[in-house]
Amino acid sequence: MKKAKFWLIAAALLLVCGICVITCCSNNDDETTVVAPTDDSSQFVTLTDAVPDAILEIRYYGTYNFVGARIDGYEEPTALLTKQAAEALRAVSDDVMSKGYRLKIYDAYRPQKGVDHFVRWAADIDDTKMKPYFYPDLDKSVLFEQEYIMAKSGHTRGSTVDLTLFDMATEKELDMGGTFDWFGPESHPDFCGNPETGEYTGDNHKSPKGRSITAEQFEHRMILRRAMLAHGFKPLDTEWWHFTLKNEPFPDTYFTFPVKQLK
């Protein structure tokens, strides 16, 4: 009788622990089970090794970003991606190069400590030194509520990239009508147009200050979007610069190794 009671208690404990593991590990942006964080970089490549024509402007290594400081985990001004994402991005690069453009990379893989830095910064309501440049229309207190800052990021899974286009004829970035990391509806792919059809509508009613972009600026965003979607990436509905590989190899893994040249 004592043995039967022991096994009943053991089974109950296993059930409770199992529920705890599922619950504790499912709180992420995709609502899927999360693999424990890892510092294994063996399936990553330095982006410019795979895409040698890419131009790098790693914003989180410098101070011109919404925080106004170098972000934790960015030890060198380089970009890393999973091998699969880098291969797909090489196809995008070849595509846009044939049209007279080059890819310019703002961010790729982002270590979890970088995301944690964003979270600490957002919790410090008094630190608003970069507000005029990146979120002038928002009170900093709403950044969590409106999901501009989150505890998890797809970038940390290694197959997401933030980028724009560089025009080789003018030797300047294409004018996208807004800066990378602008917090507001002006950054949405559907701002002033329909990204599904590529049609410019001029509809700017979502802008709190009545800002707008031109037909040319909207088309520039669409050139980038069409190239990324044609080669296996999916867009984000709030950022024209943000794309994730559809068949990302590590959809549930958040990596922790720093951003620096891989050896």
To the query of whether residue 57 is one of the catalytic residues in this protein, the response is: no
* Burial classification of residue 109, based on how many CB atoms lie within 10 Å of its CB (0-12 exposed, 13-18 middle, 19 or more buried): buried
Query: Which residue intervals of 26-124 are DSSP H helices?
Result: 47-50, 83-97, 112-123
The CA-to-CA distance between both ends of the chain, in Å, stands at 61
Residue 19: what residue type? I
The radius of gyration of the chain from alpha carbons, rounded to an integer in Å, stands at 21
Give me the helix-helix angle, 83-97 and 215-230, nearest 10°.
130
Q: How far apart are CA 181 and CA 185, in angstroms?
A: 11
Task: Check: CB of residue 162 under 8 Å from CB of residue 107.
Answer: yes
Select which of 147, 216, 239, 248 is catalytic. 239
- Beta bridge partner(s), residue 199: 194
Q: How far apart are CA 72 and CA 120, in angstroms?
A: 11
Structure tokens at 88: 């797909």
Residue 83: what residue type? K
Q: How far apart are CA 81 and CA 156, in angstroms?
A: 10
- Collapsed DSSP state (helix, strand, coil) of residue 74: strand
Q: Please give the positions annotated as active site.
A: 239
